[in-house]
Structure 1
Amino acid sequence: MNKTKKKELIGKGAELEPTVHIGKEGITDGVVEEVRAQVKRARLVKVRLLPNAALPIEEVAAELAERSGSVVVDVRGFTVLLCDTRSAR
């Protein structure tokens, strides 16, 4: 993903509300399936890690991307922005 495409996706993601929330149970199969479905449908998904999850956000982002077949666009605070592989080109 080049800089221009990344900036474009971050701009679109700024307008989105988080649609998936990860709590203290962490990344479950249900969360992965939901992210996969939303990425397939919307191509850009914002995921929020709740503070009581006590998981490192970078690890969560990498695992979610790997398990859902998506690409990490941006990580800020407790929020991860993911897109599908087609949008990342």
Structure 2
Amino acid sequence: MDKKTEEFYTRLKEELANTSAWPSEYLYKFIVPTTLENVMEVENTFNNMGAVIKTHQSKTGKFTSISINVTMENPEKVVEKYLQVSNIEGIISF
């Protein structure tokens, strides 16, 4: 992981720790190039966690947005999930 990415996740953990009581609900938002494999890989990362997953395809069908609302234990677990999906080609997290 590069230094900039590492700094981002460190800041995110600190912010989450200071603004929420844990465990807490967290909303992940991703955009992936539309392929069944990409969407399934993101969904499978949150499998068996009681997550509410919503997907929406762009007008052109090239991209799919994925919103995942899930209860997470702590800020470290939130970041862990971001890192797990970061290997999906073309994924954007926000």
The TM-score normalised by the length of structure 2 is: 0.27
Asked which structure has the greater RCO (Cα within 8 Å, sep 6+), the reply is: 2
Point out the structure with max Rg over C-alpha: 2
Flag the structure with higher strand content. Answer: 2
